[in-house]
Structure 1
Amino acid sequence: MRWRVGVGVALVVASAFVLALLAARVDWRDPWHPRERQTFEGAAFLAVGGQGRELDGHLHVDAPGPENTAVQTLATAGFEAAAFPLLRYRFDGLPPTLALSFAFRRTDAPDQLHVVELPWPGSGSGSFDLRALPEWHGAIEEIGFAEFPTPQMTPPDRGFAPFALVGAELWSPSWRGSLAALGTAWFDPWPWTIRSVHALGRDVAGFRQWPLTVASAAFAGLAALWWALLVPGARRRFLPALAIALAAGWLLLDLVWAAGLQWRHAAADAVYGALDGEQRTRQVTDRDLVEVARQVQWLLRNEPVDTPVLIHARSGYPLYRLVWHLLPRNAFVLSQAMEAAGPRQARLPLYAAGFDTPAPLLQGEVLRPGSVVVFYDMPNWRYDAARGAVASTDAVLPADLLLQRDRLLVVRYRGLR
């Protein structure tokens, strides 16, 4: 009986290790330690955004640059990305109110900057497997980091605190590096995302590793299987054993989620903890969108509240925040309104005369004459006063201009004639 228990424990430990290797997507031919490393001290980076100073081989960042963002870059001698796919990075005192990104340029496209968000290392190190990025190939000529107030959580002028970039390394493929990246992907904290409210496991994309949820379920199944095969009489209790193993895996996931929640609460407390209720209300994270909504509300102050207001923006966050800030007005997302209208109601494809390239005219149930259309941060949409229309490269809206200021364009749709 004892030898069975011993063998079972050994098999469970071995299964956990093999599952970790599979989850990390380790190449079995790689060595345990990296054969090659590129090491960059923090002081080797240049603070191109914000104020930085060298001290003890570290780059101390004392103030952010434009848009409250700090950026540190390093021109490299040029190396093959495939030879160094594992990134190691270390910071000291990075506040939880700042999100962290890694950026790089390739020699074949020096004008194109590639950026990926990284888990928060705090006063420690983190790892990331760059093979998750299809852009990580060819010769790399520049690398860098950027820190900025966490979107959707931190007011832009309250997120920064001094920190130090200790250094970074790029490793050749190895078991150790892949497992370190796996640990970072599973256990290092991330800022809030839209999925954070309902995702028990990893709530961001950009990893090549298995999610912790999948690995935990596989381990629970294997543990229950070894129990049933090696312990006498346990086969009859396989389902209870599997249920216990799954419950233990769920508890592990819940503990990881709770640790991340505690970190996120600490980040929020660093911003709002010393403020009373009224002060917290004024510390919104999207003041630019609040100001845009105020301008639109003032512009439409004499309009009926049920006048359709259709919003078009570059990404989902400003779209839905503008809809929220414009309440109680009858605001919609333009693209969703057109999809809901259907091809017959949208009357596609129709084309506008007088334009150099044919462009479909848009009209549907929601987008009807008299509707107000708000374009925010959409430089491809421009108003042509001579033709009385707002147009992009693939669509035209006959409209009258109501407001054009900075990144905001507001028009009234005239409808098709």
Structure 2
Amino acid sequence: MPTRADFPEGFLFGVSTAAYQIEGSRFGGAGSSHWDTFAATPGNVTNAEGGSVACDHYHLWEQDLDLIRDGNFDAYRFSTSWARVMPDGETVNPEGLDFYDRLVDGMVARGLVPSLTLYHWDLPSALAVQGGWANRDIAARFADYARAVMARIGDRVVMTATLNEPWCVAWLSHFLGIHAPGLRDIRAAAHAMHHTLLAHGTAVQALRADGHKNLGIVLNFETAHPASRSADDMAAAARQDAIYNRWFIEAVTGAGYPGPALQGLRPHMPDGWEADMDLIAAPIDWIGVNHYTRALYRATNGPWPAGEAVPGPLPKTQLGWEIRPEGLFEFLLRVGQQAKGVPVYVTENGMAWDDRVLDGHVSDDIRQGYIRDHLTAALGAIKAGVDLRGFFQWSLLDNYEWSHGYGPRFGIVHVDYETQKRTPKGSYLMLRDALSR
């Protein structure tokens, strides 16, 4: 097991969460988000479960911050809820900003580095009915929200990401229909694929004008391998790689959108999208890498992108995601080469398992092995020359896992959703020990 001493001096070890997954959306004057309405629509979420209470972090945040401090972590990556800060998408809710003010003060008081993500998927319903991420106006609205949040807590936040995983915001949600708003429409997907990045660039520009520094974006990467060595399967995997992995990192680093993805999306892109590319590629100070798994793709006879994922042979998590630590190493090298001179952070990495409390303890040996192997992969990337500055474990707490509801458990701390009792798992104790050395 790698320990703190194996990593460079000043390397940040942290944990990540997201507002909607833990806070409880019914508290503190939060407005409806498109996840509230998506979950309330039959068939979208397991057991129609929503985030109205979640882990009640809104009330229990002090004990949760104590867990981070007592686990010897340096930093906390959290998100602010747009629907809490601006219930109608535009008007500031003072109660919402007061909560995040207290939360950040609590981090500082415990010696934790506040790492903010401005958008982790909870779009106000009032903006969703106007087209949400398919509507170009979302970029200006997002910049207004970003400025309001940072005007209140930006003096204490050390690093700020605009968006978390725009592939999920755009493709998973507007083409595959698995996340809110649950669309399956290639035109809406193409617009969202562009407008998420336009919102990122617009917010970076606005925050820079306000004097804020250390701005970045968090992208998710998933290895796309062909199911066979056939030319068709290899082409299908290359298309998925372009849509999932290349689209966002290449755009924000000034390389534009990749050809294999534009081949299918160009006819559906917003008018004049090319004129936005310089804004999208405005310099950033760091890039976050989220990585969990890989997928195998085989060609299909259907319409573009003419490929589908098939099960692979590797060991799998509770969600059926293959465990392949080499992928993290490969993507860290890839991002380091694509974004030369830009510091990199692992902003999410973790696994779901059906963890149970037995005699007051949670034994999660498989997760412990997963963490060991991925920290080792991160260490290997540093030795290979990647400017990796930190590693954030997903997640501090078991929480609301979006369309899967409350079944999958990603936390290093177990949450009993009936009592809200927190129980540190074996993985938490392992990391606490490793980070003390």
Q: Note whether the superposition's TM-score is higher than 0.5.
A: no
Q: Which structure has greater strand proportion?
A: 1
- Structure with higher RCO (Cα < 8 A, 6+ apart): 2
TM-score (norm. length: structure 1): 0.23
Bigger proportion of residues as helix: 2
TM-score, normalised with respect to structure 2: 0.23
Structure with higher Rg: it is 1
